[in-house]
Amino acid sequence: CETWAFLKMKQTWPLRYAGVDADLSVLVDSISASQVTEVCHSRNLSDHQVTARCFDSFGGKKRARLIEESKKKRKRYGGGAQGKRPSSDGSDEESMPLPNPMVGFNLPGYRGPSMTRVLPELATGPPYFYYENVARAPKGVWAKITRFLFDIQPEFVDSLHLCAAARKRGYIHNLPTENRSPLLPLPPKTIFEAFPHYKKWWPSWDQRTHFNCLQTCTASAPVTERIQQKLSSSGNPPPQSVQKYVRHQCSKWNLVWVGKDKAAPLEPHEMEYLLGFPKDHTRGFGKTQRYKSLGNSFQVDTVAYHLSVLRDMFPNGITVLSLFTGIGGGEVALHKLGIHMRAVVSIEICKANRKILRSWWDQTQTGTLIEIDDVKSLKDDEIASYVHRFGGFDLVIGGSPCNNLAGSNRHHRDGLEGEHSSLFYDYFRILNSVKSAMANM
Which sequence positions are flagged as catalytic? Answer: 402
User: Can you tell me the distance from the alpha carbon of 251 to that of 243, in angstroms, rounded to the nearest whole number?
Assistant: 12
What are residue 23's DSSP bridge partners?
A: 14
Residues 166, 211: contact at Cβ < 8 Å? yes
φ, ψ for residue 266, nearest 5 deg? -65, 145
120 versus 278: smaller Cβ distance to ligand SAH: 278
Return the closest-CA partner of residue 367 out of 324, 334, 398. 334
Residue number, 230 or 354, with CB nearest to ligand SAH = 354
Tell me whether strands 128-134 and 20-23 are parallel, antiparallel or unpaired: unpaired
Pairing mode of beta strands 14-17, 20-23: antiparallel
Strands (E), 73-141: 106-107, 110-111, 128-134
Binding site for ligand SAH (CB under 6 A): 296-298, 324, 326-327, 329, 347-350, 353, 374-376, 399, 401, 423
Q: Which is nearer to ligand SAH, 50 or 310 (CB)?
A: 310
Q: Which is nearer to ligand SAH, 55 or 386 (CB)?
A: 386
Q: How far is the CB of 405 from ligand SAH (least distance, A)?
A: 12
Shortest distance in whole angstroms from residue 374 CB to ligand SAH: 4
Tell me the C-alpha distance between 175 and 397, whole Å: 11
In terms of CB distance, is 151 or 301 closer to ligand SAH?
A: 301
Cβ atoms 129, 438 nearer than 8 A: no
**In the complex, least distance from residue 370 CB atom to ligand SAH, rounded to whole angstroms:** 14
Cα atoms in the Cβ-side hemisphere of radius 13 Å centred on 222: 0
Q: For residues 360 and 277, is the Cβ–Cβ distance under 8 A?
A: no
Q: What is the DSSP letter of 410?
A: G
CB of 357 to ligand SAH, least distance (A): 9
The minimum distance between CB 198 and ligand SAH, in angstroms, equals 26
Separation between Cα atoms, residue 92 and residue 89, nearest integer Å:
9
